[in-house]
Chains A and B, each alone.
Chain A
Amino acid sequence: MLTIKDLHASVEEKEILKGINLQVNPGEVHAIMGPNGSGKSTLSTVIAGHEDYEVTKGSISFDGEDLEELDAEQRAHKGIFLSFQYPVEIPGVTVTNFIKTAINALRKAKGLEDMPAKDMLKSIREKAAMLEIDSKFLSRSLNEGFSGGEKKRNEIFQLAMLEPKLAILDETDSGLDIDALKIVADGVNKLKSKDNAVVLITHYQRLLDYIVPDFVHVLYNGRIVKSGTKELAHELEAKGYDWIKQELA
């Protein structure tokens, strides 16, 4: 589904990614771990198609199609979803209105009519219930005055509504207390199927107790330096990132 080959990417002339290779197939869950500044968030932003990041070498393809020429919204239309580490505030735009706009934008890209209001409401209610989101929350301005946990839960709510093929969750566990983490993880697990895939970007192993990965990759200094199964995550937790650094030295 997602094939990354020898990916090099820079922001403001500074090279952050220095040759990433990654293959994600339908039905798989991948975790990308690594210390701060290793390039984890850059990788997710580059996949999503942020203009400020320049791919200097290598390629990203999605369902066999090279993404290079596609801008961010076209990638979203193809089914790539990024749960942001720091979701932005949009004052005056309610959670409901925003998701409605996003869903209809996706439908329009597929040549479909707007979703009938009745179906939209039903879907919103179901997904909100799954993530234990209060109906009052839905009429608040997007991310404005939200707690860290509320912001993350809202990202997963959007994920549930948009049903993308590939979900990249960037540090979704940060800012969540243990109860919220369980709800969010349950939500992600329910959305998993043999046709979609999840890439978890995380600093800690904690989230991986709830969303169990098939593969774990360690990102360090712009490269994937080690790959393995979920055992690797436990090893990292026990030994710390210094272990990787020493091994590489």
Chain B
Amino acid sequence: MAYTEEELKKELETKEYEYGFYTDIESDTFPIGLNEDIVRAISKRKEEPEWMTDWRLKAFASWKEMKEPEWANVRYEKPDFQAISYYSAPKKKDKYESLDEVDPELLDTFNKLGISLDEQKKLAGVAVDIVIDSVSVATTFRDTLAEKGIIFCSISEAIKDYPDLVRKYLGTVIPPKDNFYAALNAAVFSDGSFCYIPKGVRCPMELSTYFRINQAGTGQFERTLVIADEGSYVSYLEGCTAPSRDENQLHAACVELIAMDDAEIKYSTVQNWYPGNKEGKGGVYNFVTKRGICHTNAKISWTQVETGSAVTWKYPSCILKGDNSIGEFYSIAVTNNYQQADTGTKMVHIGKNTRSTIISKGISAGKSQNSYRGLVQVNPKASNARNFSQCDSLLMGNECGAHTFPYIEARNNSAQIEHEATTSKIGEDQIFYCNQRGIDTEKAIALIVNGFSKEVLNKLPMEFAVEAQKLLEISLEGSVG
């Protein structure tokens, strides 16, 4: 088949960002702008109970009084919050009994993302709750999970079906007033995931959610709540891809984790939102609040691979409230072209004998800026608290930047805090060495970057690790001349 020049150009353009396609599904979108009526309308559209509407309105009232934070090491044009539509849902919003009932175009979208539900269904061990433009359209494996008493559904459903659980825990780890974006999220969140693991239950499969922004000009405000009851265990995977759009899109999610006594939550994220083009135009603003609380002997591990978004502002944190609790943060953040990332964690030691580990790997290429920002706080009663932090930066080329902002606040003399930091550059001698062994430059970079990120990649569940390695390669393509 002969290509016209125009067709070829088009194909090459889309190739840059593999997931940059747009699905033409009829949507039901609210007018742009944000006020009390919009907040009420969202709540009404979602048929929420009054307490939920009030919760949103209170959050909105606080948000109006708040200012967008400016302390992060990122520069961007502030979004016009009155120019965004705060609700967009595919029009056919009935729940589907089987895949046959699902809009074929939607299925096509899933296929392009490489997560065909068919396959996912067969692949034992993975249940997927897919969120497209804020409304959960398909949930699988629920029956298998239900047998164990595990609840895994959209947060909207949870508000209807499990109001007591939601009311008890929502906003307890991230109060609506916590910060500007968290308040905004609390006011307008459209959907998200809810997960409850009963006492003593070990969730038999990785729970997985794919988020995806679809409609042009709609911000996405996801809300996730994971509760692991006493002695339970869950591994939760969150993956994101967004189609490419010229105007910046806002993404302000909140994730709350609650690990009760002796419980363990492993939360893994691969984030691949559209990073903008080579000139720094477009891309997603990713302003996310993620926080978990650990009760006695509990453990929370955050693992993240961040390759996308034009601007990232994200600090998955652990409040180590219970004695002997453990918090972990493993992160790979890649920035290329004009991307900016300010990411890290907070480990707040409150209980005795609490331990935390932070491993952060930042990879900067192009003209990007990559910052690690982390706080280790040891409170007066947290005797024998221990922390180990390691922040490594890898630079490619001479125009990018890597920054480390570690904050340590120790208010107990028995605390042991270690911090190590390294900065290295991919050397021409390393590339030449690989070239001499027959390995081309792209592959050599992938090899070096994977080696650099290994400690974190090893923490990811198998299927995610493979995807993450590929993403690292795609993100850094063409970054060394």
The finding on whether chains A and B are genuine partners in a shared complex, rather than unrelated, reads yes
Interface residues of A (CB under 8 A from B): 48-52, 71-73, 75-77, 81-82, 84, 87-88, 90-93, 97-98, 101-102, 105-106, 109, 141-142, 158, 162
Segment with Cβ contacts to A, from B55-63, B105-113, B435-443: B435-443
Which residues does chain A contribute within 8 Å of B428, judged by CB atoms? 52
**Once the chains bind, are B438 and A93 in contact (CB under 8 Å)?**
no
Task: Check A105 against B437 for contact (C-beta < 8 Å).
Answer: yes
Is the beta-carbon distance between B437 and A158 smaller than 8 angstroms?
Answer: yes
B439-A101 in contact (CB<8A): yes
Contact status B435-A109, CB under 8 Å: no
Q: Are B430 and A90 in contact (CB under 8 A)?
A: yes
Residues of B within 8 A of A105 (CB): 437-440, 443
- Indicate whether A73 sits within 8 Å of B440 (C-beta atoms), given known contacts A92-B451, A92-B454: yes
Known: A88-B427, A105-B443. A72 touches B436 (CB 8 A): yes
| Chain B residues within an 8 Å CB radius of A50 | 432
Closest to A109 in B: B438
> CB distance B433 to A162 under 8 Å?
no
Given the contacts A87-B433, A90-B430, A76 and B447 also touching, CB distance less than 8 Å: no
Please pick, from B436, B451, B455, the residue contacting A76 in the complex, using a CB distance under 8 A: B436
- Find the residue from A76, A109, A158 having the highest chain B CB count within 10 A: A76
Closest-CB distance, B363 to chain A (whole angstroms): 12
Q: How far, in whole Å, are A109 and B443 apart by their CA atoms in the complex? A: 13
CB–CB B447/A98 < 8 A = yes
By beta carbon, the residue of chain B nearest A99 is B437
Q: Which residues of B contact A77 (CB under 8 A)?
A: 438
Which chain B positions have C-beta within 8 A of A102?
434, 437-439
B interface residue numbers (CB < 8 A to A): 427-430, 432-441, 443, 447-448, 450-455
Assess whether B452 is in contact with A91, with CB atoms less than 8 Å apart.
yes
Residue among A49, A52, A72, A91 making CB contact with B451, cutoff 8 Å: A91
| A102 to B451 alpha-carbon distance, docked (Å) | 15
Interface of B is mostly: helix
Q: How far apart sit A59 and B31, CA to CA, in the bound complex (Å)?
A: 71
* B435 close to A76 (CB less than 8 A): yes
Q: Which of B432, B437, B441, B451 contacts A141 (CB 8 A)?
A: B451
- Residues of B near A84 (CB, < 8 A) are 433, 436
Select which of B429, B439, B452, B455 is within 8 A of A88 by beta carbon: B429
Are A88 and B443 in contact, with the CB atoms below 8 A?
A: no
Q: Could you name 7 residue pairs across A and B whose Cβ atoms are closer than 8 Å?
A: A52-B428, A76-B436, A92-B453, A93-B451, A97-B447, A101-B443, A158-B437
Query: Chain B contacts of A91 at CB under 8 A?
Result: 451-452
Shortest beta-carbon distance, A88 to chain B, in Å? Answer: 5
When C-beta atoms are compared, the residue in chain A nearest to B392 turns out to be A91
Nearest chain B residue, comparing its CB with the CB of A161: B437
Please name 20 further chain A to chain B contacts, defined as beta carbons within 8 Å, in addition to the given A73-B436, A93-B448, sorted by A numbering. A49-B435, A72-B432, A73-B438, A73-B439, A75-B436, A76-B437, A81-B436, A90-B430, A90-B434, A91-B451, A92-B453, A98-B437, A101-B437, A101-B439, A102-B434, A102-B437, A105-B440, A105-B443, A141-B451, A142-B451
A97 to B436, CA, bound (A): 16
Q: How many Å from the CB of B438 to the closest CB on chain A?
A: 4
CB–CB B436/A48 < 8 A: yes
Are B435 and A71 in contact, CB atoms less than 8 angstroms apart?
A: yes
Tell me the complex Cα distance, A90–B430, Å.
Answer: 7
Q: Is the CB of B429 within 8 A of A92?
A: no
Give the interface centre of A73, A84, A162 by most chain B CB atoms within 10 Å: A73
Least CB distance, B12 to chain A, in whole angstroms: 24
List, in ascending order, chain B residues with CB within 8 A of A93's CB.
Answer: 447-448, 450-451
Contacts of B435 in A (CB 8 A): 49, 71-73, 76
> Which A residues are CB-close (under 8 A) to B447?
90, 93, 97-98, 101
Task: Write the nearest CB–CB distance from B320 to chain A, whole angstroms.
Answer: 29
Within 8 Å CB of B451, what residues of A? 90-93, 141-142
Residues of B within 8 A of A92 (CB): 450-455
Please give, as numbers and ranges, the residues of chain A lying within 8 Å of B436 by CB-CB distance. Answer: 48-49, 72-73, 75-76, 81-82, 84
Question: A77 CA to B440 CA in the complex, in Å?
Answer: 10
CA distance A77 to B451 in the complex (A): 24
A82 contact set on B, CB distance < 8 A: 436
The 7 A-B residue pairs with the shortest CB-CB distance, nearest first, are: A92-B451, A93-B451, A72-B435, A76-B438, A102-B437, A92-B454, A105-B438
